[in-house]
Amino acid sequence: MALNKKTIEDIQVSGKKVLVRCDFNVPLDENKNITDETRINAALPTIKYLLDNGAAVILCSHLGRPKGEFNMKYSLAPVAKRLSEKLGFEVKLAKDVVGPDAKKLAAEVKPGEAVLLENVRFMPEEEKNDPAFAKELASMAEIYVSDAFGTVHRAHASTAGVAAYLPAVAGFLIGKELNFLGNAVENPQRPFVAILGGAKVKDKIGVINNLLDKVDTLLIGGGMSYTFSKARGGAIGDSMLDEERLGLALELIKKAEDKGVKMLFPVDNVIARSSDMGGKTVCEAGKIPDGYEGFDIGPKTIELFSEEIKKAKTIVWNGPMGLFEKPDFAVGTKAIAEAMANSEAVTIIGGGDSAAAVTQMGLASKMSHISTGGGASLEFLEGKTLPGVAALNDK
């Protein structure tokens, strides 16, 4: 995928109306209070740059899954309120997306001001990438800025369609994602180590396949490691297993051998009869007795993986090492996060649960980059074309 895309710094924005696709899909509690502002904060550098450089800013985003209907449970009103507080002026919220109120606010917005359109997914045409709807959205502005990395793997009207009608460039957030993830995958400093965990093999097949052409070492942990263990003839007790992909696991092991990639698996596991009963113990990998389930990597694996992390110059991590939501089984994930935090390497966390774990453990500031897109960063690491990136103008 060509990553050499124009950003907001490559174009003149002064006096222009700029439509910005943000990712304001924030979690809300039952009283509509925002419980995590990470995504709003991530959008601020792009918004402030545009305002400071004399652009009139029209913001748009989705929130939740309203399924193409005006459902006020998913209104962006809480986001407009919080943005107003953070920017120090009122960010007016349109009552619609491309209707009379949106058009009126877009027409009235002045340089140095910002307005917010209502949830783009209130319109069924958004997820269908309907050209007429994309054209309506585009008609309110003179420039399109894409800054919602979490949605660029979807070809929707506001993420890809509008780029057919306006000059289209990346905001700072997408620029940073392309820079870090792109360099890691296409031009890494070596040794390049990838750490993959999480529950399901099927979610990571494409990633493993693509990374085997790029990395020097691949560390496999988490729930999916038990399928590899079983494929290699190990006993995994009642651990998570993807029966259908045992053959594929062997093919991937063979591919790593053929390419000279060091593929490492857990050598010991933390096991228990269930995740709730306590009574955890450590056993050698591939020797888990019946009635027991593996929930984390063991101390010898932590040591083995940490040694590889120490040698690395570039590290990409996607997927926890165990059931990190439970303190009993969070030790492996925490140890890997700490090893990365103490590393001199370029450290990239590929979104999703790994990002949540690192943030929860207070180690986010120690990483070079934490991707804001779970699905998007996975597809990026798989080498897939991301429609919302492909649609942007090349430098």
Q: Which of 120, 147, 173 is the last residue of a domain?
A: 173
**pLDDT at site 392:** 94
Instruction: Clarify whether residues 53 and 111 are in a common domain.
Output: yes
Instruction: Clarify whether residues 244 and 266 are in a common domain.
Output: yes
- Starting at the edge strand found earlier in the chain, the sheet holding 346-349 runs 262-264, 217-220, 192-196, 314-318, 346-349, 369-370
Q: Would you place residue 2 in the very low, low, confident or very high pLDDT band (cuts 50, 70, 90)?
A: low
Number of neighbours of residue 278 by Cβ within 10 angstroms = 9
Classified as helix, coil or strand, 37 is coil
Q: Is the pLDDT of residue 246 over 60?
A: yes
> Per residue in 20-76, pLDDT tens?
999 999 999 999 999 988 889 999 999 999 999 999 999 999 999 999 999 999 999
Instruction: Clarify whether residues 132 and 269 are in a common domain.
Output: no
Mean pLDDT of 207-222: 94
Q: What is the mean pLDDT of the chain?
A: 94
The pTM is what? 0.86
Instruction: Clarify whether residues 150 and 247 are in a common domain.
Output: no
**pLDDT at site 1:** 47
Report helix angle 374-381 to 201-211, nearest 10: 40
Strands 143-146 and 17-21 come out as parallel
Looking only at Cα atoms, what is the longest distance across the chain? Answer: 69
Among the listed residues 103, 128, 135, 200, the single catalytic one is 200
Structural domain that includes position 375: 181-381
Asked if 39 is an active-site residue, the reply is yes
Which residues does 52 contact at the CB level (< 8 Å), separation at least 6?
Answer: none
Q: Are 19 and 140 in contact (CB under 8 A)?
A: yes
**pLDDT at site 327:** 92
Cα–Cα distance for residue pair 280/210, rounded to 1 Å:
36
Instruction: Clarify whether residues 287 and 153 are in a common domain.
Output: no
Among the listed residues 16, 17, 21, 39, the single catalytic one is 39
Cα–Cα distance for residue pair 200/231, rounded to 1 Å:
15
- Whether omega before 78 lies within 30 degrees of 0, making that bond cis, reads no
Residue 2 in domain: no
Mean pLDDT of 347-363: 87
Q: How many domains in the chain?
A: 2
Which residues does 129 contact at the CB level (< 8 Å), separation at least 6?
Answer: 155, 156, 157, 160, 161
Q: Is the pLDDT of residue 269 over 90?
A: yes
Instruction: Clarify whether residues 93 and 193 are in a common domain.
Output: no
> Per residue in 195-212, pLDDT tens?
999 888 888 888 999 999
Among the listed residues 68, 112, 234, 375, the single catalytic one is 375
DSSP one-letter code for 69 = S
Question: Percent of the chain, pLDDT > 70?
Answer: 99
Q: Side chain identity at 132, as an amino acid letter? A: A
Measured CA angle at 112 (ends 107, 113), to 5 deg: 50
Q: Would you place residue 218 in the very low, low, confident or very high pLDDT band (cuts 50, 70, 90)?
A: very high
**Lowest-pLDDT range, 98-112, 175-189, 218-232, 353-367?**
175-189
Q: Residue 115's beta-bridge partner residues? A: 58, 92
Give me the DSSP letters along 153-183: TS--TTTTGGGGTS-EEE-HHHHHHHHHHHH
**pLDDT at site 159:** 97
376 alpha-carbon distance from chain centroid: 5
Question: Tokens 């993830």 identify what position?
Answer: 181
Instruction: Clarify whether residues 230 and 354 are in a common domain.
Output: yes
**pLDDT at site 278:** 77
Cα–Cα distance for residue pair 135/112, rounded to 1 Å:
25
Q: Which of 150, 173, 196 is the last residue of a domain?
A: 173
Among the listed residues 237, 352, 374, 388, the single catalytic one is 352
Copy the structure tokens of residue 70.
Answer: 């005006």
**Exposure class string for 334-372: b at 16+ Cβ within 10 A, else e:** bbbbbbbbebebbbbbbbbbbbbbbbbbebbeebebbbb
Q: Which of 173, 189, 206 is the last residue of a domain?
A: 173
Asked if 273 is an active-site residue, the reply is no
Asked if 221 is an active-site residue, the reply is no
Asked if 161 is an active-site residue, the reply is no
Classified as helix, coil or strand, 295 is strand
Copy the structure tokens of residue 334.
Answer: 């925490």
